[in-house]
Amino acid sequence: MCGIAGIIGIGCRRETLAAMVRSQKHRGPDGEGSFFDPELGVALGHSRLSIIDLSAGGDQPMASADGRHVAVINGEIYNYLELRRELEGGYTFRTKSDTEVVVAAYQKWGPGCLDHLIGMFALIIWDTRNKTAFAARDRFGVKPLYYHLGADSTLYLASEIKALHAAGVPAIANEESWANYLSYGLSDHSNETFWKGILSLPPGGTVSYEQGSARFANWYDVAARIGDDDDSRPEDIVREEYFGLMKDSVRLRFRSDVPVGINLSGGLDSSSLLGLVHEVQGMDSDVKAFTFVTGDSEYDELPWVEKMLDKTRHPLIVSELQPGDVPSLAESVQRHADEPFGGLPTLAYARLFEMAREHGVTVLLDGNGMDEQWAGYDYYESSTNRPVSMVQGVSGSPVRPECLSPEFRALANPLRTAAAFSDRVRNLQYRDLRFTKIPRAMRFNDRVSMRSSTELREPFLDHRMVELAMRQPPERKIQNGIRKKMLREIAQTYLPRSVSQAPKRPLQTPQREWLRGPLREWAESRIEGAISGPQGSYLDKSLVRKEAAAFFGGSFDNSFFVWQWISMGLMKDL
């Protein structure tokens, strides 16, 4: 896990690259390196967080054995040992790193090497012979890659937006992105960011650069990969295959030369992760487990986590978020996020990663991805074709577009995704995986984990698992009001029935109560900062104050729109 940066084109400058690398130091505090060739017009930079092959042999940028290709990579290739054995006959390895395996794979298969990788990654590879660059992002966008194409056709690439600002890209708000966010709650659904001129390479996306020209393409899309046919095999065969993939995915993600821990909540997905750890490592596994609390019994899941860990050898480290932590923590997380983030749950997660680092754990596993694979959200059950809100668990609208100026509101466009499948459930799953929930969660998770120089791994976003689950017909996911049907059937083979059949409990914090109570003064000041800030023209000031006052007075079961305005206040100084 690292921070990468690249400049390809006539605008290549050593000092610009240095500024980009410096801005991402938190992503890789264990070392940094650069490759610079002004004649070829390329500069590559890397900040290293040492996870695999802790020696200097794992440093980047890394050149191939023949010197032709130079690469910088952020992420992990979990099947690198298997790929190394496959490639050894035609390549002489000098290190034990997964990075060199990617270089060797690229030399053998070119861009087709991506299909061989099981992992999370963003990479840039420079071909010194052909004077071409190739960059790519993993299938589900677990690792980020942002870019800016300059007026002189110079291509700038980086792991974080702030690195592109450090390269001289001006920090000008993208009004269309803000309008979509404030009107519909949308973000991360396209390659647009909240900053004008800075774009995100899509999940499964690539860019090739040659002779001043950048060509963008997609190398992976789950809908295109699996097609629309149902998996008609018997359910017991599918369950066995999926369970095998679950175990293999967790096994691969324990590959590390530094300590690995697990994040737990009280739900089925975390319980499944813990059970799989025992399947892979045995009941004597003693990896550290982490969970967060807020001191509110209505929300905290500590009793369920403690029950899960009862009679195991896992030490439990509890991270607590208190109201007094929020103001300074929110400012810190906002500086690292560069864009609006997900409220108090993201802050609680940020504190958890701080705690992990303090306890000597550099790599953490969590349970993201099962709800999207197995139709775990309540709206998957609905038989209507009404638009599904981007925010769940609220009875009314989560946003307040009527509080925007008419001119600004007119810039917004609702999300419209083509029907990739013939059934409603899979179309919603595809939307959540590709355009809404997973892209947003991956951005939040990447920034808060890297803020504390920790690596977060997502075993349930293994593409093999996702593809198999997506091939299953809706009745294997939802039946008689039971969501995640087949996953629950698999889980009950290795988990207590009380866990495998437990209803879904969304991960929540007392955001609404805190904003109305101990954080009210802070929240009001941030909202006023949004109104008076450079983006205040987006808002109808009187209506914002009116709706905010109604919220603080006890109206609405929803604090999402209030956090949006707080986000504007937090970002006004960036």
Give the separation between CA 454 and CA 431, rounded to whole angstroms. Answer: 29
Distance CA 162, CA 179 (A): 22
Q: Cα(169)–Cα(425) distance, rounded to whole angstroms?
A: 41
Arithmetic mean of pLDDT, 331-340: 97
Q: What is the pLDDT of residues 341-352, one digit of tens each?
A: 999 999 999 999
Nearest-angstrom CA–CA distance, 559 and 515: 8
The pLDDT score that the predictor gives to residue 388 is 58
* pLDDT value for 59: 94
Work out the average pLDDT over 7-22: 96
> Strand runs (DSSP E) across 467-561, as ranges?
478-479, 482-483
Cβ neighbours around 285 below 10 Å, total: 17
CA distance 495 to 356: 26
Judge whether 435 and 189 are in contact, CB under 8 Å: yes
Integer Cα distance of 31 and 15 in angstroms: 18
Quote the CA–CA distance of 305 and 297 in Å, as a whole number: 13
pLDDT of amino acid 86: 97
For 55-98, the pLDDT digits (tens) are 999 999 999 999 999 999 999 999 999 999 999 999 999 999 99
pLDDT value at 496 more than 90: no
Q: What is the pLDDT of residue 40?
A: 85
Question: What 3-state DSSP class applies to 170?
Answer: coil
- pLDDT of 414: 95
Range of weakest confidence among 1-10, 271-280, 489-498 = 489-498
228 pLDDT tier (thresholds 50, 70, 90): very high
Mind listing the domains of the chain with CATH numbers?
Answer: 2-220 (3.60.20.10), 233-381+417-500 (3.40.50.620), 511-571 (no CATH)
Mind listing the pLDDT tens digit for each residue in 430-484?
Answer: 999 999 999 999 999 999 999 999 999 999 999 999 999 999 999 999 998 899 9
* Backbone dihedral angles phi then psi of residue 524, each to the nearest 5 degrees: -60, -40
pLDDT in tens, 26-52: 999 999 999 999 888 999 999 999 999
| CA separation for the pair 207, 124 (Å, rounded) | 9
pTM recorded for the entire structure: 0.96
Whether the pLDDT of residue 508 is over 90: the answer is: no
Q: Per residue in 147-199, pLDDT tens? A: 999 999 999 999 999 999 999 999 999 999 999 999 999 999 999 999 999 99
Average pLDDT over residues 102-117: 98
SS3 call for 158: strand
pLDDT at 82: 98
Q: Which long-range contacts (C-beta less than 8 Å, at least 24 apart) are formed by 303-308?
A: 303/266, 304/265, 304/266, 304/267, 305/264, 305/265, 305/266, 305/270, 308/264, 308/266, 308/270, 308/271, 308/274, 308/499
Q: How far apart are CA 148 and CA 415, in angstroms?
A: 24
* Residue 384 confidence (pLDDT): 59
Average model confidence (pLDDT) across the chain: 94
pLDDT bracket for residue 394 (50, 70, 90)? low
Residue 501: pLDDT band (50, 70, 90) is: low
In the predicted structure, residue 119 carries a pLDDT above the cut 70: yes
Nearby residues of 3 by Cβ (< 8 Å), 6 or more positions away: 21, 24, 25, 26, 27, 28, 46, 47, 74, 158, 159, 160, 163, 450
Residue 370's pLDDT is 95
